[in-house]
Amino acid sequence: MKYLGIKLKPKSSLHLGQRENWLEGSLPFVHSDTLFSALCHCYLLLYGSLDDFMKKFFPERPNPDPPFLISSAFPYKENDLFFPLPANQVIPADLDLELIKKLKKIKYVNFNLLRRLLNGEKLSNLIDEVETSIDLKTFPPIQQKPRNKQNSQTALDELLNQPDEIYKVEDVPRIALNPLTNHPGENYFHFGQVTYSKDCGLFLLIKINDQAWENTLKALFRLLADEGIGGDRTCGKGLFYQPEFFVPEIPEIENPDGLYALSVYFPHPSELSGLEKSFYELEERRGYVFSPVNRSLRRRSIRVLKEGSVLLNNVKRVGTLADVTPETPPLPHRVYRYGYLFTLPCKLEAT
């Protein structure tokens, strides 16, 4: 098994819709199922058929072994990669109200802090260290002025460079012109977009189980940078500079009994055991079919476990593809949503 990291720096703003027919707002990251759909489209453009590609993701149970697993794409700033806060970091009710407010705002933590959380430490116990450290970072940031007087100016400069503006989500006013009169009338609406700051962008991780796929994956992501992702691509949104490939650092955890999810997860029926002891949130995933034969049909919706879930490692958790083919009208092919699980080892309970 080999791990591959990919950085995608946007050329312009992105519109990552949260649900169909809702133009306002935008997600600041890309779900793994959306990325997989984009890779399928790029594979079809490069090789002319998806049959061989999709067959690799339908192995026999109970030991499925897809050729690669992808994470969702999360924010980065320069050399700092930011991961979703693990779901087992439950905020104690007896904390100070101001501290509770700070902790509830945190969405992402950098790798140094993530490694400690996956080893079983509680974020609420690390708050004093996080507020004054230049190595432990959160987004949104909660850092304050350094308490150590030695080298205070250097430390202060570091803290002022914290990731307070990795990205900005905004609603841009737009009008739709009447094709007959060329007049906007009342066709006024807002369109959501996310804009990344300088030296910021999105990164994802890939577990490559079959080394023969490494070069193919790099080719797919190079094409993806030009094809783009998300909405309004005909207007230049969602495009990226050529991807930067790197070898990611994977945290070493002693005696792990949990799995930290970096992708959405649609469990196979054989993997439902132990979820009652896990930490997760559910999210409904829906949208339209993106196919050469039809792009206006709604896919069937499913519920998945969100990124950041911490799952009991009592069974082999791999996930599966969910069949979301619309019942009518009939399509010449099936439609699937990617639900395979990308995980890192962790401690189930934070202490």
Identify the H or E element spanning 24. Answer: none
pLDDT per residue as tens digits for the range 17-27: 766 556 666 78
The residues with which 298 forms a beta bridge, in sequence order, are 288
Q: Is the confidence at residue 87, as pLDDT, over 80?
A: yes
Identify any residues that bridge with 75 across adjacent strands, giving them in sequence order. 202
**For residue 64, is it within any domain?**
yes
* Residue 334 banded pLDDT, cuts 50, 70, 90: confident
Do 263 and 341 reside in the same domain of the chain? yes
SS3 35: helix
CA 171/CA 192 separation, integer angstroms: 4
Query: Is the residue at 170 inside a domain?
Result: no
The pTM score is 0.88
With respect to residue 26, please indicate whether it lies within any of the assigned structural domains: yes
316 and 195: one domain? no
Tens digits of residue pLDDT in 47-58: 988 888 988 898
CATH number of the domain at 34, please: 3.30.70
Torsions phi, psi for 194 (to 5 deg): -115, 130
Residue 9 lies in a domain: yes
The answer, yes or no, to whether residue 261 has pLDDT greater than 70, is yes
pLDDT in tens, 29-44: 999 999 999 999 999 9
* SS percent in the chain: helix, strand, coil, step 5: 25, 25, 50
Same-domain status, 74 and 6: yes
Burial of 149 (0-12, 13-18, 19+ CB in 10 A): exposed
**Residue 217 domain flag:** yes
pLDDT in tens, 162-209: 556 899 888 877 777 777 777 766 677 777 888 999 999 999 999 999
Is 126 contained in some domain?
Answer: yes
**198 and 70 in a common domain:** yes
Residue 20: alpha-carbon gap to chain centroid: 19
**Are 107 and 236 in a shared domain?**
no
Residue ending a domain, choose from 226, 250, 274:
250
* 2 occurs within a structural domain: yes
Q: What is the pLDDT of residues 208-241, one digit of tens each?
A: 999 999 999 999 999 999 999 988 787 888 899 9
- 329, part of any domain: yes
Backbone angles phi, psi at 193, to 5 degrees: -150, 155
Question: 96 and 68, same structural domain?
Answer: no
Give the residue-averaged pLDDT of 132-138.
Answer: 89
Domain count, the chain: 3
pLDDT band of 63, cuts 50, 70, 90: low
pLDDT at position 41, please?
Answer: 92
Q: Residue 115: give the domain boundaries.
A: 86-164
If you average pLDDT over every residue of the chain, what do you get? Answer: 86
Burial 38-57 (b: 16+ CB within 10 A, else e): bbbbbbeeeeeeeeebeeeb
What pLDDT does residue 15 have? 82
Instruction: Tell me which of 145, 164, 183 is where a domain ends.
Output: 164
Q: Where residue 160 falls among pLDDT bands split at 50, 70, 90?
A: very low
Q: Give 244-249 contacts, CB < 8 A, sequence gap 24+.
A: 244/6, 244/7, 244/9, 245/4, 245/5, 245/6, 245/218, 246/5, 246/6, 246/7, 247/3, 247/4, 247/5, 248/3, 248/4, 248/5, 248/81, 248/205, 249/111
Task: Assess contact for 266 and 337: CB atoms under 8 A.
Answer: yes
Same domain, 122 and 51: no
Does residue 224 sit in the same domain as residue 269? no
